[in-house]
Chains A and B, each alone.
Chain A
Amino acid sequence: MTDALNKFPGVMWPRFHRNNDEHLNPYYTFQDYRQTWGMTIFILMTTALLPLIVMTLIYYQLIETSINTESLLRTERLASNARRAVTFFLEERLAALTFTVNEMDYDQLTKPESLAEVLRNLKLGFGGLTDLSVIAETGTQVAYAGPFNLEGKDYSHQPWFMECQQHNACVSEIFSGYRDVPHIVVAVKSMRPDGRFFVLRATLETERLIQTLSSYKTGEHADIFLVNRNGLLQTPSQFYEGESHQVDISLPAYSDRTKAVISTDRNGQPILIGYAFIETAMAPTSFILMVVKQKAGMMKVWLDLRSNINWFFGISAVIIAIVITLTSTVMVNQIFHADRLKAETMVAAERNCQLASIGQLAAGVAHEINNPLALINETAGYVKDLFTLKHQYKEDTELVEHIDSIIDAVARCGTITRQLLGFARHFDVHAQPINLNDMVTDVINFHKKEAEYRNIKIHVDIPETIPLIETDRGKLQQIILNLVNNAFQAIDNGCSLGVWAEMEDPEHVRLFIRDNGCGISEDHLNKIFEPFFTTKKEGKGTGLGLSITYGLVKKLHGNITVQSRTGQGTTFVVTLPVQLKEETRV
C-alpha cells in the first residue's frame, strides 16, 4: 500500500524532472530527459491522433457531400412534382375553355343565359371559377356571367388581353384587378366565321392553386410558393416574404428544366432552392415555382450524429493522450533510472580507475625510493655504529641525536613506502567465519589504555542477532583498526566513541563507527577516501589510512560511506556481505 503511494507521485512528477546530478551528466545517453519525454509524447500523439483526425475530417466531408447531393435531388424531385401539378391545374382549365369555344359559337356564348349555364357546368366540373366573360376583338366585355356586373368593361390595355391576341391563350399573373380580390385570369382566343376573334375569359380563385401547392409541402423547414419573373410573390411564402410581396432570396436564372441549387438566405443561412419555370402547352406563364428548404433542418439528423461522433472522438483522444502520457512518463523514467545507474557505475569506475592509477604511481614511487632509502639507512647506521660501537664519539650526544633523527626520518619514509605499496597491492582474500563482536572488542582493547588515559568513553553494541560473517579476518581487522584509529585522532579528551552494528538485509551487515569529535567539513567529505588527502598537521599523517580502508572494504565486496557535521562528529558506515562471494575466495 505504502509502496503504491510512494510510486504514485513518481508517475505524476517523475525523477527525471528534477535531475540535478550534474556530475553524472556527461555519462547520460540523453542530455535532456525532459526534452526526450516531451518529444516522445509529441511523436506518439502525432502518429496516434493525426490519422484519426484526418480520417474523421474526410468522413465528415464525404457525408456532407452525399447529404448535399441527396438533398438537392430530393428538392429537385419535389419541385418537379409540384411543377407538374401546377401546370396540370392551369392546362386543365385552359383546355376546358378551349373545349367551350369550340363547342359553342360566339353568338351562343354572348347570350347571358347560355354563358351562365357554361359557368355553372364549369364550376361543377372544376370548381374554383369565379366568373366567365366574353371579350370582343375591341377589348370590350360583351357578355358576363358571375357575381360582379362588369359588362362593358374595356380590357384592351390589360397585359393578359394583349398576350392572348398573340398566343391564342394566356395565363395572367395573380393580381387583384377591379375587384380587389387576388385571382388569375385564363383566357383563350377563338375565331368567328367573319374572321374577327373573341376571347373567352375565366377568373380563377387562387385558393385552389395555393392548396395544391401546400399539399407538396414536406417538413417544417420547407417552403413552396410561386413568384413571377420579377420576384413578386404569387402565393404566400412562409419564410421568405419581404417588403411589398417581393421574395427576399435571389431569383435563379431561366431554365426549361427543373433544377436545384444551394444558396443562402438573407441571414446567410444555407438553403436549398428547387425551381421550375412554369409553362403550359398552350401559353407561357410568368410563374416560377420555388421550393426552398433550410439546409440546417435537413442536416439536423447528421449534425446530431456528428455531435455524437465528436464526443466519441474527443473522449477517445483524451484517453489516448492520457495513456500515451502515462506510458511515456513511466518508460522514460525507467530508461532514466537505468541510465542513471549506468552513469553512477561509470563515475564509480572512473574513480576506481583514478585510485588504481594513483596506486600504480604510488607503487612505482615506493619501489624507486625504497632502495636509496635503504642505503641512507645503512650509511647513517654505519656512521652511528662508528660513533657508538667504537666508543670514540660515544659521549657526543648531539652528533648521535642528529644521526638518530636521520634514521627516524628514514624509518618514517619506510612506513610511507610500505603503506603506498599496501595501497597498490591486490592481496588475496581468505574468507573465514568471524564473530564481529569479538573482533571489535579485540581492536578496542588496543586502545584501552589510551582511552583510559584520555578519559574517552567507548560504547560497543553488537547485538547477538548479528550472525558470524564470512570474510577476510586480516582485512576486516585492518578496516576496523583504521577507522578506530581515525576516530581516536579526531576526538578530544573526554569525548566518546560508539561502535554498533545492524543487519541491512539478511545478506548484509552494517557496522557504524561514530565519534563526537571535530567532524569533517563538506569540502573535505568527498575527498577523504583519496590517497594523500589529510587534514592532519604536516608529518602527522600520510593521508593513506582512509584510502587503504576504502580499498580494503571494496576488496571485501563491501561499501563505506561517511556522514559528518563540523563540530558534531563523524559516522563511518561500513556495509559488508555476510558471506563473501565464492569466486573471490581462495
Chain B
Amino acid sequence: MKLSDILIVDDERRYADMLARRLALRGLTCKVCYDGHTAIDVVGQEHFPMVLLDLRLPDIYGTDVLMQIKAFRPDTAVIILTGHGTEKDREQCMARGAHSFMNKPVDIDRLVAIMTGIKEGDRRDRRIE
C-alpha cells in the first residue's frame, strides 16, 4: 500500500484544503470532502488506507461516519481530528475503531509521524499474518 491515499473529511473547507496541500507537499496524495454523506459515498467507491475525520460535520455526527467507514472498510485507519474533543468523545471514538484522536490545531509533523506509525504498525501486522 502506498502512503498516498488519504481522505480528509472536514466542513471547514479552507482548513481541509490547506491540510491537503501541506500533506501533498510531504508526498501524500489527499482527497477532500466537506460533509459526512459525501465521505461515506467516497469511501464506498474508493479504498482509502487512511481517513482524517472531523467530529462536527454539518449533516451527520462524525462518530456515525466513523462507524460506517469501519463497517464497510474495516482495514481503513481513521484518525479523528477535531476542534473540541472531550475525553468522552475520545473514548467513544477509540471504542468504535478510531486509530488516533487529535485536537486541532495540530502540528503537521506530529500528524505525519502518527500516520507513519499507523502505516508501520499495519505492515507489522501484515508480516505477522
Tell me the complex Cα distance, A246–B65, Å.
133
Residue of A nearest to B13 (CB): A375
Let me know if B19 and A378 touch, CB within 8 A.
yes
**Binary interface profile of B, 28-64, with partner A (CB < 8 Å = 1, else 0)?**
0000000000000000000000000000000000000
Q: Name the contact of B105 in the complex, choosing from A367, A378, A427 (C-beta under 8 A).
A: A378
Contact with A along B80-98 (1 / 0, CB 8 A): 0001101110000000000
Note all chain B residues with C-beta closer than 8 A to A378: 15, 18-19, 22, 105, 108
* A-side contacts of B26, CB under 8 Å: 385, 389
- Smallest CB separation, B26 vs chain A (Å): 7
Q: List A355-404 residues whose CB lies under 8 Å from chain B.
A: 366-367, 370-371, 373-379, 381-382, 385-386, 389-390
Picked from A371, A411, A421, A428, the residue with its CB within 8 Å of the CB of B12 is A371
Chain B contacts for A427, CB-based, 8 A? 86-87
Structural contact, B105 and A382, CB atoms closer than 8 A: no
- Complex Cα gap A427–B89 (Å): 11
Count, chain A residues at interface, CB 8 A? 25
The reply to whether A389 and B14 contact each other, CB–CB distance below 8 Å, is no
In chain B, what residue has the closest Cβ to A363? B84
Q: Are A425 and B104 in contact (CB under 8 A)?
A: no
Chain B residues with CB under 8 Å of A411's CB are 105, 107
> Chain B residues near A414 (CB, 8 Å)?
103-105
Q: Determine which of B12, B15, B84 lies in contact with A366 in the assembled complex, contact meaning CB atoms within 8 Å.
A: B84
Tell me whether B108 and A381 are in contact (CB under 8 A): yes
- Are A374 and B21 touching (Cβ within 8 A)? no
A173 to B84, CA, bound (A): 132
Q: Are A373 and B105 in contact (CB-based, < 8 A)?
A: yes
Residues in chain A near residue B19, CB distance under 8 A: 378
Q: Residue A410 at the B interface, CB < 8 A?
A: yes
Contact A370 B25 (CB under 8 A): no
B: residues with CB less than 8 A from A are 12, 14-15, 18-19, 21-22, 25-26, 83-84, 86-88, 103-108
Q: List 14 A-B contacts (CB under 8 A).
A: A370-B103, A373-B104, A373-B105, A374-B15, A375-B12, A375-B15, A378-B18, A379-B14, A381-B22, A386-B25, A410-B105, A418-B103, A421-B86, A428-B87
Closest 4 CB pairs of A and B: A377-B105, A374-B104, A370-B83, A378-B18
